Amino acid sequence: MIWEKSCGGIIVFIEDNKEKFLVIKQMSGYYGFPKGHMEGNETEEETALREVYEEVGLKAKIVEGFRETLDYQVNKNIMKEAVFFLMRSDEKKVKLDKNEVLEYAWLGYKDAWKKITFEEEKEAFLRAYEYLREVENGR
Q: Name the band, by pLDDT with cuts 50, 70 and 90, for residue 138.
A: low
Q: Identify which of 39, 51, 43 has the alpha carbon closest to the alpha carbon of residue 10.
A: 51
Alpha carbon 17 to its chain centroid, in Å, reads: 21
User: Residue 45 sits in which domain range?
Assistant: 2-136
What's 50's domain CATH number? 3.90.79.10
Residue pLDDT, tens place only, 17-37? 899 999 999 999 999 999 999
Q: What is the mean pLDDT of residues 117-132?
A: 95
Residue pLDDT, tens place only, 92-104? 999 999 999 999 9
- For strand 2-15 and strand 61-75, is the pairing parallel, antiparallel, or unpaired? unpaired
pLDDT of residue 139 exceeding 70: no
Beta bridge partners of 70: 82
Contacts of 76 (CB under 8 A, 6+ apart): none
Measured in degrees and rounded to the nearest 5, phi and psi for residue 129 equal -65, -45
Q: Kind and range of the H or E element at 73? A: strand 61-75
How many domains is the chain partitioned into structurally? Answer: 1
Contacts of 22 (CB under 8 A, 6+ apart): 11, 12, 13, 33, 34, 56, 58, 89, 94, 104, 105, 106
